[in-house]
Amino acid sequence: MSHFDEAQAAVEAALAAGARYADARVLHRRTESMQARDGDVERLERGESAGVGVRALVGSGWGFQAVGELSTAAARRAGSAAAAIARASATLGGPPVDLITTPPRVGSWASGCAVDPATVPLSTKGDLLAGVTAASRAGGADVAEATYQTWDTRSWFVSSEGHRIDQHIRECGAGMSATAVGDSQTQRRSYPSAFGRYGTRGWDLVTELDLPAHAERIAEEARALLTAPLCPAGETTLILGGEQMSLQIHESVGHAIELDRILGWEAAFAGTSWLELGRLGSLRFGAPLMNITIDPTIPGAVGSFGYDDEGSPAIARDAVRDGIWVGVLAGRDSARAAGLDYAGNVRADGFARLPMVRMSNVGLEPGPHTLEEIIAATDDGILMETNRSYSIDDRRLNFQFGTEIGYEVKNGRLGRMLRNPTYTGISPRFWASMDMLSSEIVPYGLPICGKGQPLQLARPGHPAAPARFRNVRVGVRG
Amino acid sequence: MRPADVAARTLDLVRAAAGPAAEAEVAVDRRRTALTRFAASAVHQNVADDTTTVRLQLHLGGRTTIVQGTATGAAGLRALVDDAVATAAAAPVDATWPGLARPGPPSGGRTARRSAEDDDPVARAGQVRAFVAALDGLPGAGFCSTRHHTAAYANTAGRFVAGTDTQATLDGVARCGTAEGVARASSSSLAGLDGARLGARAAAKARAGTDPVDLAPGRYQVVLEPTAVADVLWLLGYFGFDGRAYTRGSSFAEPGARQFDPAITIVDDPVGPDSLGLPFDVEGTGRRRLDLVTAGVTRGVVHNRRTARSAGADATGHADTDIPLSGGVATAHLHLLPAGPRCAAVPEVDGPAADAAVADLVGAVTDGLLVTDHFYTRALDPRAVVVTGLTRNGLWRIEGGRVTAPVRNLRFTQSYLRALAPGAVLGVGRHAVDVPAGLTAVVRAPALHLAEWNYTGGSDG
């Protein structure tokens, strides 16, 4: 079933109302999620949303209107309303707005999906989550929780320039946690990460995660953390596990290279960036080992797509090459404002939200080492794994992270477990101190990344591997 | 179709499809939201949407499912109900079903007065224009938003409630060199906002923040303005007064214990005469003023029906589906009560303090900091609400009761619980204001004078 007609009607209505450019996305999404706690399924939820979102450019003013209704009449009303909103925007004046020139695309794309989550019986899914939470409880957890989520999204995009694209993206993933409650503290361990693991894949991803094999372990680790020694305070060599590296990339690289932040468009809320456009291509972001790509073409990664939400095709691009900052995440209007010639990273959270600059898959290329080699090469340091907290300033410069668990590293071997590990640093200094990087890349991803007003949630991917950093401040406490 | 009609129609379809034994509740929520964003004093994003969501929870044969959709026509509602019945039949057994809200008051909600201009992008642009004009040449960024919410709830036990809520918010920063100043306010209508006043306040802060000095990390007395107190309140609610955190043992809350300074009284009140929010939650439970902390003594936490069942308590009307990662329960409209009776307004003052009530607290500080705002605050230890974050939008040194110099932003790591512990609160402002907090909430807060706040580093390293 196609909804190109509704999208076309919305665009035509916006043009008739005075827009010089318009695009429209019709979106139909089905979602499913389940949560279990302590051996019982607590919540099963399914959702279906459908509607159209129209973007119109009048003069140098943008307008966007969405309606949760699928009919050509509703689409036309939304197109006219978008143009009226754009006219109101233009009343305040401002710099000229335009889009970089791209050829109109006509295409179709679908993500891979070996096992459609919709074909897996609910009872099978429920047995999995109830079973792993029961096993965690038996393993010593005071609270054991597990969840899965699926999204099945079909979209139809039309622009006044001739774009006509339909996509079908299926996403899926799961995760679980065990919490141990002590007299004055709680400790938590998660698997496969603090946020679960998600991908543009089917239920096969959940099967591969093998939650049952880790249910007891995380419970035992959570309980052991209650009596583990505190992470010491001071400066040391820090080894980060791959999952924490994915958060490090997300916060200190991914958001920093968003062009809308660099241009000041997010100044009042998410913030700006310490990166200055004039230094694109020459600024040293980190050590020569640091190679970061923007790659929405990675099969199965959660940030993958065929086309972004303004019709630009997915293309891999360097963000940091040999430690030098060389690329940004851009949309067609921000690229034009910055004098760049590429876009391709504009996405929206459903039909009712404006497409804006978002991460796709922003991640590391593999290094030459393994985690085992990194530990063996470290005389004195700390290994930290699995994110527990994350905070970074509005320029994406000063960060402080906490992880669920840490281990002493002494004379090339793992030592005692450490609780409440934290580390802090300044982004370019921290990345410049990376002297070992593992080749063991995993396509981690986040099921939730907030940006924009009204708030939009995205699911970016972050391929990452363990790495070592020198002279890092650890053990910051209140 | 009105939300109330959609709810009734859906229940009829459930009865026909699932029979009289089915327990079902329907929450219908029509939201018309509009938001105008500006940066460099020009509008760069301007959006509106009008979406109705139907949420059906069905408990059938000991199994439960929630289905949600945006279609409100006859075919869409029938498909929704059919999906719910089929899903419930295949769902795992629900051992913790808490049952439905029983019939009883309130039978209807507050009817919000809504001006036509609340939907008008030109009116929003007018508020932005007034804010920008008051900056007197400084570049400004922020947003002006309106939200009109019409909701209805009905269940097979016979409960029906409906109501409306409107909110408008203006939130903006002014920039002067590298210094930023902020002003933000929420109201029940666009007309209740004053773009010019907020713009002037943001500009005064930005101008007073130029050429900041570095300050060594350490523990300082602070005056937190309402914008920063909003963050403290919100996170205390998220990690402590949340019934889900309470039932899983990760909340600090110990009802009956003196956990806060006697100057601290916190209520959750979405039903007061000038409160914001609907008078019932998505499970149909009526809301009321709920005492969370009274003169330093913790009184309770907020519950949805499941956390209430787990805790052996009554649901308090705080089921929530809006807050990301909230787990289905969240505070609605937190108020930290000001010192003395609430006053409608206080005078503006010269300098960086937000108003005369803040300036009063500054006057009592011998050596400390005036803090406008917190940014990117995250919990290191949810149980003690140990939070790390940064100052933002204006930080000043206070010496001898006077603001003496702007200070470069600092990172802190601080237990919010300890910051408000017995003996730690040296003063509470006499004027509380509604400020946006978290990602989607609004809280009402006065300024606070606190004995100690732990700054662990400069924001530039």
Of B48, B141, B249, the CB nearest to A142: B249
* Percent helix / strand / coil, chain A, rounded to 5: 25, 40, 35
Give the mean model confidence (pLDDT) for residues A130-146. 97
Q: Is residue B38 within 8 angstroms of chain A, CB to CB? A: yes
Same domain? For B196 and B343 the reply is no
Same domain? For A186 and A295 the reply is no
CB contact under 8 A, B380 and A402: yes
Q: How many domains does chain A have?
A: 2
Same domain? For A27 and A61 the reply is yes
Q: What ipTM did this prediction achieve?
A: 0.94
Per-residue pLDDT tens for A5-34?
999 999 999 999 999 999 999 999 999 999
> What is the reported pLDDT for B1?
82
Spatial distance between the Cα atoms of B315 and B158, rounded to a whole number of angstroms: 18
Same domain? For B432 and B303 the reply is yes
> What is the reported pLDDT for B326?
52
| % of chain B beyond a pLDDT of 90 | 79
Give the mean model confidence (pLDDT) for residues B75-102. 93
Same domain? For B228 and B94 the reply is no
| % of chain A beyond a pLDDT of 90 | 97
CB contact under 8 A, A64 and B45: yes
Q: Residue B394: is its pLDDT beyond 60?
A: yes
Same domain? For B312 and B276 the reply is yes
Spatial distance between the Cα atoms of A164 and A25, rounded to a whole number of angstroms: 10
Same domain? For B387 and B416 the reply is yes
> What is the reported pLDDT for B378?
94
Same domain? For A280 and A221 the reply is no
Q: Which of residues 188-227 of B touch A (CB under 8 A)?
A: none
- Mean pLDDT rounded to a whole number for chain A: 97
Domain membership flag for residue B280: yes
Q: Is residue B387 within 8 angstroms of chain A, CB to CB? A: yes
Per-residue pLDDT tens for A298-354?
999 999 999 999 999 999 999 999 999 999 999 999 999 999 999 999 999 999 999
Same domain? For A158 and A44 the reply is yes
* Residue A184 distance to chain B (closest CA, Å): 7
- Which of A123, A269, A459, A474 should we substitute to test contact with B (largest number of B Cβ atoms within 10 Å)? A269
| % of chain B beyond a pLDDT of 70 | 94
Per-residue pLDDT tens for B338-355?
998 767 788 889 889 999
Q: How many domains does chain B have?
A: 2
Of B50, B93, B413, the CB nearest to A478: B413
B271 with B293: CB under 8 angstroms? no
Q: Read off the pLDDT band of B114 (50, 70, 90).
A: low
Q: Which of residues 330-359 of B touch A (CB under 8 A)?
A: none
Of A45, A68, A476, the CB nearest to B456: A476
Same domain? For B224 and B188 the reply is no
Cβ–Cβ contacts within 10 Å for residue A302, how many?
27
Same domain? For B258 and B187 the reply is no
CB contact under 8 A, A43 and B381: no
- Which of B49, B60, B167 should we substitute to test contact with A (largest number of A Cβ atoms within 10 Å)? B49
CATH assignment at residue A213: 3.30.2290.10
| % of chain A beyond a pLDDT of 70 | 100
- A245 three-class SS: helix
- Of A22 and B94, the structure prediction assigns the larger pLDDT to A22
Domain membership flag for residue B450: yes
Same domain? For B264 and B348 the reply is yes
Going from the C-alpha of B224 to that of each of A54, B172, B457, the distances in angstroms are 42, 19, 18
- Of B438 and B218, the structure prediction assigns the larger pLDDT to B218
Same domain? For B243 and B140 the reply is no
- B143 three-class SS: strand
Q: Read off the pLDDT band of B107 (50, 70, 90).
A: very low
Q: Which amino acid is at A398?
A: N
Give the mean model confidence (pLDDT) for residues B153-179. 94
- Of A437 and B111, the structure prediction assigns the larger pLDDT to A437
* Phi and psi, residue A158, nearest 5°: -135, 140
> What is the reported pLDDT for B442?
81
> What is the reported pLDDT for B108?
46
Domain that holds residue B420: 218-458
Q: Read off the pLDDT band of B143 (50, 70, 90).
A: very high
Domain membership flag for residue B213: no
Same domain? For A194 and A46 the reply is yes
Q: Residue B310: is its pLDDT beyond 60?
A: yes
Q: Is residue B128 within 8 angstroms of chain A, CB to CB? A: yes
Same domain? For A211 and A193 the reply is yes
> What is the reported pLDDT for B105?
67
Q: Is residue B96 within 8 angstroms of chain A, CB to CB? A: yes
Listed residues A196, A225, A254: the one ending a domain: A225
Same domain? For B196 and B126 the reply is yes
Q: Is residue B75 within 8 angstroms of chain A, CB to CB? A: no
Domain membership flag for residue B271: yes
CB contact under 8 A, B46 and A89: yes
Which residue of chain A comes nearest to B328, CA vs CA? A43
Same domain? For B289 and B401 the reply is yes
> What is the reported pLDDT for B345?
80
A300 with A200: CB under 8 angstroms? yes
> What is the reported pLDDT for B323?
58
Give the mean model confidence (pLDDT) for residues A109-129. 96
Please report residues of A whose CB lies closer than 8 A to that of B120: 88
Q: Read off the pLDDT band of B187 (50, 70, 90).
A: confident
Locus of tokens 């009829």: B12
> What is the reported pLDDT for B458?
82
Same domain? For A203 and A324 the reply is no
Locus of tokens 């509008």: B43
Name B116's Cβ contacts closer than 8 Å, sequence gap at least 6.
none
Give the mean model confidence (pLDDT) for residues B87-99. 90
β-strands A413-418, A317-321 pairing: unpaired
Does A454 sit behind a cis peptide bond, omega within 30 degrees of 0 on the bond before it?
Answer: yes
Same domain? For A121 and A264 the reply is no
Going from the C-alpha of B98 to that of each of A142, B283, B370, the distances in angstroms are 22, 11, 47
Same domain? For A239 and A211 the reply is no
CB contact under 8 A, B37 and A121: no
Give the mean model confidence (pLDDT) for residues B202-224. 96
> What is the reported pLDDT for B275?
78
> What is the reported pLDDT for B447?
98
Listed residues A190, A206, A225: the one ending a domain: A225
> What is the reported pLDDT for B441?
76
Listed residues B139, B173, B208: the one ending a domain: B208
> What is the reported pLDDT for B325?
53
> What is the reported pLDDT for B95?
87
Domain that holds residue A97: 4-225
Same domain? For A377 and A244 the reply is yes
Listed residues B208, B237, B269: the one ending a domain: B208
Per-residue pLDDT tens for B414-423?
999 999 999 9
CATH assignment at residue B103: 3.30.2290.10
Listed residues B208, B235, B252: the one ending a domain: B208
Same domain? For B294 and B165 the reply is no
CB contact under 8 A, A394 and B392: yes
Q: Residue B376: is its pLDDT beyond 80?
A: yes
> What is the reported pLDDT for B110?
53
Q: Residue B195: is its pLDDT beyond 80?
A: yes
Q: Is A339 exposed, middle or buried (0-12, 13-18, 19+ CB in 10 A)?
A: exposed
Least confident of A133-142, A182-191, B438-447: B438-447
CB contact under 8 A, B376 and A89: no
CB contact under 8 A, A40 and B378: no
Of A264, A398, A450, the CB nearest to B460: A398
> What is the reported pLDDT for B112?
52
Q: Is A309 exposed, middle or buried (0-12, 13-18, 19+ CB in 10 A)?
A: buried
Which residue of chain A comes nearest to B173, CA vs CA? A268
